[in-house]
A = this chain, B = another copy of it.
Amino acid sequence: MIDPDIPAPADLQLRQRLAKRFRQLTDPAFVLTEPGELAPYECDGLSAYRRRPLIVVLPATVTEVQAIVRVCRDLGVPVIARGAGTGLSGGALPREDAVLLSLARFNQILDLDVSNCRARVQPGVRNLAISEAARPFGLYYAPDPSSQIACSIGGNVAENAGGVHCLKYGLTTHNLLALTVVTIDGELITIGGGGYDAPGYDLLALMTGSEGMLGIVVEVTVKLLPIPERAQVALASFDDIAQAGNAVAAVIAAGIIPAGLEMMDNPAIRAAEDFAHAGYPTDAAAILLCEVDGSNAEVSEDIKRVREVLLAAGATEVHTARDDTERALFWAGRKSAFPAVGRLSPDYYCMDGTIPRRHLAKVLKDIDRLSDQYGLAVANVFHAGDGNLHPLILFDANKPGELEKAEAFGGRILELSVAVGGTITGEHGVGMEKINQMCLQFPPETLGVFHTIKTVFDPHGLLNPGKAIPTLNRCAEFGAMRVHAGALPFPELERF
């Protein structure tokens, strides 16, 4: 049993041995061992964390994946699956003692079943490619992470990815029908199947979001939805960020489920406007973008009500996009917010936590206070409808100590989320980034249940070790073990 917290140094002899075996199993051109070849795989989208993989292999078929995994199991070598490498929590961070198995060559859409509204695809297929293939049939795949041009559906499954439209249409886990998975024993298993209900325990939900720690996904069947006839967006300006937070609750309470409900604070507005010229009010304390979709008639009616509710909730102005071009422009500002904020500062650190909507105003104030305390500016861009925060902490990695300060600040934001009854992730997963905060989110007993479940699927701890679920040792070292007097073995969230 390897210690998941301690990667061993690269064993060059083992690398050669694996390379030899892998080159018998797949096209030798896709077995990478040279430093120059390995470098691109040193990190995923969380580039502040880097490690060099022992070896990278890119198999082309399910049979090859099975054979490669069996070699890893037989030699006791950990194996880390990687999709497009766009993850933001370091879930695909390599280890010096582990094989990195890329599923980039699994890029085929295997079946579009229009009459049953589903697509069967390989895990390396890009999120957006599914919707593009389904578009001629009037269908699309709903979850839309910001990285959807690049991110792969396999990675979406591993991290239970979200996106702007998840308020109405759910996360990845709500849009899946079946998975085919290679187990650590190299067996091929299919879970789910798309029935109305499934007997037995819900293994499909268990596998989704498990960050490659229970098996390697080699095929994904997703639900497709009809493309809404029309979408319309309202841009509301607020003088006060707390009012904007309360307006979010008012929209939901009015019985409208927007397709998207996003908030940006003043620093984010100014950065985005400067970058995308979206027509945002740069003097507003906050804006809300509220999109509704559906049939023509429904959209006309809903957008009228959204406007009324937002004005009643204190919006100084509500501007409805006059046409699809302006609508696209409003969203272009939001979608470019991350790179736009990136121009304000050499580096930024994107956090991802979720809080009950009613605590939005309070938590934003606390973040502001922490910003002063750490001396680092923050821009806030988030999925307000879900209470999913994405504070962007601005720093300069070239200034000694700033990265560490940004990490500490980010950790405090996550702790704040837990304290108000929220969670340390909204859609980016835990990966390597938030593993210490898992010690706050869950008491040791729950972590124990997680470890035992992992053992059911991966008895020797070879699948993506050290991610997502901290060892109790790690929590003890982090010094933040969550222990209750009442010894509640699961998180006793604040009552909402």
Interface contact B438-A199, CB-CB below 8 Å: yes
Interface contact A488-B188, CB-CB below 8 Å: yes
B-side contacts of A456, CB under 8 Å: 449, 452-453, 456
Interface contact B171-A174, CB-CB below 8 Å: no
Interface contact B116-A496, CB-CB below 8 Å: yes
Q: Given contacts A196-B162, A202-B202, is CB(A490)–CB(B190) below 8 Å?
A: yes
B-side contacts of A9, CB under 8 Å: none
Q: Give which listed residue, B190, B201, B425, B450, contacts A492 with CB less than 8 A.
A: B190
Considering only CB atoms and an 8 Å cut-off, how many residues of chain A contact the other chain? 102
How many identical subunits does the complex contain? 2
Q: Given contacts A187-B488, A496-B118, is CB(A195)–CB(B294) below 8 Å?
A: no
B-side contacts of A208, CB under 8 Å: 202
Q: Give which listed residue, B139, B160, B297, contacts A297 with CB less than 8 A.
A: B297
B-side contacts of A452, CB under 8 Å: 456
Does A210 sit at the interface, judged by CB under 8 A?
yes
B-side contacts of A496, CB under 8 Å: 111, 113, 116, 118, 120, 193-194, 221
Q: Which residue of B lies closest to A229 (CB)?
A: B255
- Counting chain B CB atoms within 10 Å of each CB, the highest count among A200, A356, A422, A453 belongs to A200
| Least Cβ–Cβ distance between A244 and chain B, in angstroms | 15
- Counting chain B CB atoms within 10 Å of each CB, the highest count among A139, A162, A166, A493 belongs to A493
| Least Cβ–Cβ distance between A235 and chain B, in angstroms | 22
B-side contacts of A171, CB under 8 Å: 196-197
Interface contact B196-A383, CB-CB below 8 Å: yes
Interface contact B199-A115, CB-CB below 8 Å: no
Interface contact A202-B174, CB-CB below 8 Å: no
Q: Give which listed residue, B225, B253, B301, B358, contacts A298 with CB less than 8 A.
A: B301
Q: Given contacts A201-B450, A301-B296, A387-B196, is CB(A255)–CB(B178) below 8 Å?
A: no
Q: Given contacts A226-B257, A298-B294, A357-B115, is CB(A199)–CB(B488) below 8 Å?
A: no
27 residue pairs of the A-B complex, CB under 8 angstroms, read: A115-B358, A120-B496, A171-B197, A181-B490, A188-B486, A189-B445, A189-B446, A189-B490, A194-B496, A195-B387, A196-B427, A197-B388, A197-B426, A198-B209, A198-B425, A199-B441, A200-B441, A200-B442, A200-B446, A200-B469, A201-B206, A201-B453, A202-B205, A203-B449, A203-B490, A206-B206, A297-B300
